[in-house]
Structure formats: C-alpha cells, structure tokens
Chains A and B, each alone.
Chain A
Amino acid sequence: ETGVTQTPRHLVMGMTNKKSLKCEQHLGHNAMYWYKQSAKKPLELMFVYNFKEQTENNSVPSRFSPECPNSSHLFLHLHTLQPEDSALYLCASSQVSTSGVTDTQYFGPGTRLTVL
C-alpha cells in the first residue's frame, strides 16, 4: 500500500448505528487530519492530530469521536449520526519537521457516508 488509504470507501448507516472510519498513511508522516466534504460546501477541517496528540477540534459535535493510536493510523468513530452528516469524509497526513515547519497535506480517497 502507498500513500493514504481509507476504509471503507462507502458506508450506509442508520441513525442508531455505531461505525468507525479508518485511515492509514504509509508516508512516514507525523500529523493526520479529518475533513468533511458536504455537497455544495467547501471542505471543512474537523480534527488535527500532531504526534498523536489532538491539536484542533473544529467545533465538531460529540457524535464524532476521533482516535489516533499511533502516527500511522487515524479513526473516526461515529454514533447516533443525523442525515445531515452524510458527506465524503477525507483523511490527510503531512510531515511536521523538528523545527515545526509543516509540509504539504496528502489526502486519501475518502469514505462516502450516507446516514439514513
């Protein structure tokens, strides 16, 4: 595997279900990101993890719960979602140098989520 991978690629869930999205980066990066892309809206940052520590939560509802067990893996746990949460969820990774300078973000193919 190369680059950034995401599973599953498509997910349909009911509002009472619990599911998880998985992201894995094979680039040796140390920062990972979750973005949400809804129809007719710009891509929105949800969470940022730098060296496995969450550094940004962009006012995301608690029904979205991120987890970063190591610098290569990022999860997004979903529970009691709403139909308006249907969107493409994109994961990205980047390298932050020891001097703190961050490099380009590389994205995975996304998980297309439909909430019924």
Chain B
Amino acid sequence: AQKITQTQPGMFVQEKEAVTLDCTYDTSDPSYGLFWYKQPSSGEMIFLIYQGSYDQQNATEGRYSLNFQKARKSANLVISASQLGDSAMYFCAMREGLQGAQKLVFGQGTRLTINP
C-alpha cells in the first residue's frame, strides 16, 4: 500500500496567489514525522518544513505552512504569496518512528509552475 499520496501531478498558479499542495499519508505508527521538500530543476532536494505527529500546532516557516489534519491523515503544504522562484517539484515525505536513523518514504511529487 502506498504510504504517501500526492494526487496533483501538476499545478499552475498565478504569481502572488496562495497555493495548496495536497498530501495524504498512511501509517499505524503513532510516532511519525512529515516533511516537505522542494526540488528545483538543478536536482537538489531542499528541506522546507516539518510536522511531528505529536505537535499540537501546525508548522510554519516563512511563506510555508503545513495544514496538518491528523484524523484525516493529511499534511497539505500551503505557500502564501507565490513567487516565480517557487516553480519546482514538491515532495511530501514521511518518517515512521522517531528513533534512530530513519528512512524517508516519499510521494510521487507535484510539479508547481508559477505564471507571471
């Protein structure tokens, strides 16, 4: 069974608009972490934001926020006031458990294109 699902292969948004990238996950482990990474065409995976399963509040990092709905097992990324430089692939990832060097399971990604 797929553990991370990103249902939007591609999204097109006008510059300065807000955008929401969807991510749903599946786990039976009560301790887990959710991550969003950005991958520009250069290839590097850039860490954006993290949400722990026990965190009471939604994570925020500058223009990025994570809409964490635990009961629905969703962890959507919201980018406010989008910029041309936000055009990239975006990956949602999950780490099950909090101990030791843990592997990340990634979704298929969403290609975001910001139009001027």
Contacts and interface: CB of A to CB of B under 8 A. Distances in A.
Q: Are chains A and B native binding partners rather than an unrelated pairing?
A: yes
A105 interface: yes
Contacts of A43: 45, 91, 93, 104, 106
A89 B31 CA distance: 28
- Size category of the binding interface on chain B: 20 to 34
Interface stretch (B17-25, B36-44, B65-73, B75-83): B36-44
Interface of B: 4, 35, 37, 42-47, 50, 91, 93, 95, 98-109
Closest 9 pairs between A and B when the two form their complex, measured CB to CB: A31-B101, A107-B45, A50-B101, A43-B106, A100-B99, A110-B43, A109-B44, A45-B103, A42-B106
A96 B101 contact: yes
Contacts of B93: 43
B101 A102 contact: yes
Interface string A56-92: 1010000000000000000000000000000010101
B94 to A, nearest CB: 11
A49 B37 CA distance: 21
Nearest to B44: A109
15 contacts: A33-B101, A42-B91, A42-B105, A42-B106, A42-B109, A43-B93, A48-B103, A90-B43, A96-B101, A102-B100, A107-B37, A107-B45, A107-B46, A108-B44, A112-B43
A100 B45 contact: no
A55 interface: yes
Contacts of A25: none
Nearest to A31: B101
Nearest to B50: A104
A101 B44 contact: no
A56 B43 contact: no
A60 B102 CA distance: 17
Interface in A17-46: 31, 33, 42-43, 45
Given A104-B47, A106-B47, A42 B102 contact: no
Contacts of A33: 101, 103
